[in-house]
Amino acid sequence: MINKLNFADNRKQDNSGDKNSGNGGSNKKNDDFDWSKIIKTVFSWGAVIIAAVIVMQLWRGGSSGTAEITFDVYQQLLEGDEILEGKIVKSDINDYTFEGTLVKEKSLNVNNTWVKTDKFTVTLVEPILQEQVKIWKEKNVKYTFIKNSNEWLNIILGFLPWVLIIGVWFLIMRRMQGGGSGSSSRGLFNFGKSKAKLINESQIKFTFKDVAGADEAKLELQEIIEFLREPSKFRKLGGKIPRGVLLLGPPGTGKTLLARAVAGEAGVPFFSISGADFVEMFVGVGASRVRDLFDQGKRNAPCIIFIDEIDAVGRHRGAGLGGGHDEREQTLNQLLVEMDGFEQNSGVIIIAATNRPDVLDPALLRPGRFDRQVVVDRPDVNGREGILKVHTRKIPLDIDVDLKVLAKGTPGLAGADLANLANEAALLAARKNKTKVSMEDFEEAKDKVMMGMERKSLIISEEEKKVTSYHEIGHVLVARMIPEADPVHKVTIIPRGRALGVTTYLPVDEKHTYSKEYLEAMITYALGGRAAEKLIFNKFTTGAGNDIEKATGIARKMVCEWGMSEKLGPLSYGNKEEEIFLGREITKHKDYSDRTAEMIDDEIKDIITRCMQRADKILADNIEILHRLSLELLEREILDSEEIDKIIRGEELPPIKKTNGKTDSSVSNSSDIPDHVKELLEKRKNKENGNNNEKIDGENNTIG
């Protein structure tokens, strides 16, 4: 099985405190407005005021011996000369309270209840107060007017709702305008402010010592650092500081880390923002944020502005159905103007990163904007060794750890993948309660990263396990017998990831171009598993689905892109399939005739058929080795390259200690061999004795 592994981007992030983040350097670590404090404060003061009012009302209410009577009962008491004296207190604007004392205790009707008391209160309105004063004088009732000492409380209670409303409105307006505890970029009405994070040199910084495997990129960026450190050196000779640097490369190769290292080496402020942070639901927000970002950069010049994943706003203009001047295009237009407008942004360098340079607008890539395009590719052997040294600085390594061997055994892995490998090895060692990380842990971590996690709990029948064993050995044996193929590194039938078995190949050296012979060899050993299933079991399974897909893809590219077909010649057929809505045509463009399409299909089929026949012949000629290897793989579940070579040479492997304590050789009995395979072995012996070669070859090709 051929497995092309694509690894996710695992960029190293700066998790420092970001004291100076946001717009121009707010010193707040967290710019979020804490509404809970405001709500708690309002409710706390409200509860205090309400409690105070209740206490005052209870205090003003007097003792339990005072009865509140109606005006009719008051008139009866007044006419009967039963009131001795009274106090008049103003209770409202037009209302007064008469607090009277009787000559002697009497039962009074209070809310249909008779209460015996000598004190009472009654409410008197202002129009009749003068008449009552005359009656009091005639009846010789002593009365006094008392100034209400609680009038201020009534005034405060009247104004309190308005004060609360004005206070809440004031806090909301300050929040909208970015005031208060939040930074100026966090206000509700300040959504046009940039969200770029400012990283000062006082914070944790990266240098080129933390970057390995990208020597050419570091040399290219060294000039940027010299520009920032000593710009006068270049200005004397008429040199201008570059406007922008575009970092191109697959995910996980260290583009973000390189940008941070440049900022650390130069010792200048470093603004970091993602391309997706520019565009939101409001019209014109993206362009406004671009303007604000460059304004911040000018205030902090010389500085570096790093835009990660610039393809989010830098795609081809006029994209989508019918094109249109949408929000993303406005943002891109403003970015182009800021980078190459009338104003000279001296001291501001833009570093952008993307893994999709093919979708960027051509206006971004022209000289004067992104002057430098630095390719950050996957590291070679020496680069991988350097990356492993960087990521194992803080890991206690055992004496047997050889980073050079690990680097050779991890072709195609990016920096993030190697960082993940070192971390997985440390975690595995910690699970085993080790004090140091050994080579065994690194090998186990490598298998986990490159082939997937072991699925030991997966239940597989013996028949399916046997089919898987022969399938994987088919790959191994075909690859071993073809000189152009990559050497087999390891084969296993332990389920890993989504595969029941995995065969890994280890290139001898780094390849950048591929010959026709090498590609045909890849197709041949990819189909080796299917050929083994057909030869041994005389049936096909779905296990070869991925192999057929990979083989067909290689054959199609050989014919349509690389001109490796003699019939069709060195021509390119069909445009490369690209994503829609990128300013290109939505429908597929067919630039060849139907007759040519038939020829392409025939040629692809011919390549696949020829490679399949070659795989069948190799396995049929080496049927004994195929059977021995498969049985050994069934017993041991894992075979490395040395063990495979020993079996091919006819040497016996050391016995395996089984769980019951007995030892047993891994070679199975002849009864496990299918009948048609036994017939094929007999014919092989006859071939060696000098029988008709053509006849035997024809039979070998038809068996199974």
Catalytic annotation, residues:
472
Q: DSSP assignment, residue 576?
A: P
Q: DSSP assignment, residue 19?
A: S
Pairing of strands 370-375, 303-308: unpaired
Write down the residue that tokens 């209460």 correspond to. Answer: 115
Q: Residues, the chain, total?
A: 704
Interacting residues of 608 by C-beta distance below 8 A, sequence separation 6+: 523, 527, 551, 552, 555
CB 250 within 8 A of CB 378: yes
d(CA 407, CA 385): 5
d(CA 313, CA 278): 8
> What single letter denotes the amino acid at residue 291?
R
CB 436 within 8 A of CB 396: yes
Q: Does the CA dihedral 646-647-652-655 come out positive or negative? A: positive
Of the candidates 335, 361, 276, 314, the residue with the CA atom closest to the CA atom of residue 584:
361
Helices (H) and strands (E) counted in the chain, each on its own, are: 23, 16
HSE, side-chain direction, 13 A CA sphere, residue 546: 15
HSE, side-chain direction, 13 A CA sphere, residue 218: 16
Helix-, strand-, coil-residue percentages of the chain, each rounded to 5: 45, 15, 40
Per residue, the 3-state secondary structure of 447-460, as one string, reads HHHHHCCECCCCCC
Write down the residue that tokens 């402020």 correspond to. Answer: 269
Q: Which residues on adjacent β-strands are paired with residue 640?
A: 490
d(CA 260, CA 265): 9
